Chains A and B, each alone.
Chain A
């Protein structure tokens, strides 16, 4: 249609030229015909001009249409994209609603806090001479640990034991004692601050005597009789390595409330090693005597091969003990531990105490124990079960110990032999037989103790 219009324009121009030829070149034309033809040409020229203008308008309209088309196409693409996005979001929302929220994986090695329960449990069968043999829940001793960050630890240990009620009172009593509860703050590589009810570093026994750690079911006589196991106070401790073979020196220095007097007097039998916790029975917060106790331990550890090592320590504590503060109590302890290979261990500890009294003057007490053990795995015998067996022996004595039951001072010597069978590295069957020689009638002369203990 558009092309036809363009063909019409040259045709009309050619016709106009022919009509404009001189009269001599064609036949004679009258004026009337000429004017008519002229009028016709004028009309045709007007028509051509009108058509040209129309064509221009049509072209402009066409360009506008093209522009609108492009804009519509762009809008369509945008709308399609929006629709696709909406569809995608909708699908994601549906999926999120149908699945549990994603959790970031936990890096176990770097978690900033952790709560844990460790501990041990022991059940015994005890047969003492002149007594009926009996099963005993010797101890259930959980330890709660809470670590906050890299340098802070709270730890608390408990002991649960059972005991019959008094004669003519049926049933039994469950004792649940707090053996220690302390907050540890590692201040730097060489110093840790501990505060709370502390296991006292008088020798190493108090800190390392859990049932499954101790190779005998009971404690050495002098440890129980002469030394406080714990005290309420604060302690600085740390270790300084030297050399390149794992040697180190370690230290502990503590201030605690110290021993007290059971009845407030300075009589010798009133010494109470563990009863001064800072809050009196009437609720008043006060030490039972004027000054706190001070003490500490200095230790040397020398490994000369893996599993071959020697540890030596010297420790002590001094304190007032009676309410008037007129008498001092002091303790000195030497300890040693030796390992010769994975199968042989020897331990030794010497304890010496002195304290003044109103009625008996200066009381001197001392005692020591030596203990050796050997795992039969060292013999390389191919016999069933023998590699899990360990033989143990101990001698311990006590001079001038005080028996609060009978109110007398006594001496005692004890020889113990026994075995340990390791069902696993943490589940032990222990058995030992003890010979006791003492003036204290409350102590048996022989005793058999069988124990199953588990460390967890």
Chain B
């Protein structure tokens, strides 16, 4: 157990520094960011897997008063799991799943409704 103590110390410091930088940087980035979201990215979520669409998600520049269901889908679903395609379920199934996700992820009801509308509009049936 003692054979990797030097490695352990270095890795521990690395993780600690990385964690501090990420958390602090994220906080600063968040507090400084004032640009609202647009729907330019979310449109891609229906056509490519989550792990392969980084190149197709440019930074949005259009100011919008309210987020669309597609944008909210893009924001929320990928936080916990790889996105599931709207066509994977029927409209009725999405209604049940979104109620489950609304409670589990503690999402605002109005945002959950917009995501549901997006999923149903693009559902398998």
Contacts and interface: CB of A to CB of B under 8 A. Distances in A.
B75 interface: yes
- For the residues of A in contact with B, the DSSP-based class is strand
B111 A241 contact: yes
Interface residues of A, number: 81
A447 interface: no
Given A111-B92, A342-B54, A425-B83, A184 B99 contact: yes
Contact of A342 (B30, B50, B125): B50
Contact of B50 (A240, A244, A309, A425): A425
Interface in A270-323: 299, 302-311
Nearest to A152: B99
A380 B29 CA distance: 24
A192 interface: yes
Interface residues of B, number: 71
Contact of B22 (A244, A372, A387, A425): A372
B96 A153 contact: yes
A424 B80 CA distance: 16
Contacts of B65: 244
Count chain B CB atoms within 10 A of each CB in A188, A240, A241, A438 and give the residue with the most: A241
Interface of B: 1, 4-5, 7-8, 11-12, 15-16, 18-19, 22-23, 26-27, 29-30, 33, 35-37, 41-42, 49-55, 57, 59-60, 64-67, 71-72, 74-75, 78-85, 90-93, 95-97, 99-100, 102-111, 120, 123, 125
A147 B99 contact: yes
B98 to A, nearest CB: 10
13 contacts: A108-B125, A118-B97, A153-B99, A184-B99, A208-B80, A239-B108, A246-B37, A246-B71, A305-B60, A342-B57, A393-B15, A395-B15, A435-B8
Given A246-B67, A303-B75, 7 more contacts: A150-B99, A238-B106, A244-B64, A305-B35, A342-B50, A387-B52, A415-B12
Nearest to B45: A306
Contact of A338 (B23, B60, B106, B108): B23
B109 A343 contact: no
A395 B12 contact: yes
B2 to A, nearest CB: 8
B84 A445 contact: no
B12 to A, nearest CB: 7
A114 B23 contact: no
Nearest to B60: A305
A348 interface: yes
Contacts of A9: none
B51 A370 contact: no
Contacts of A343: 51, 54
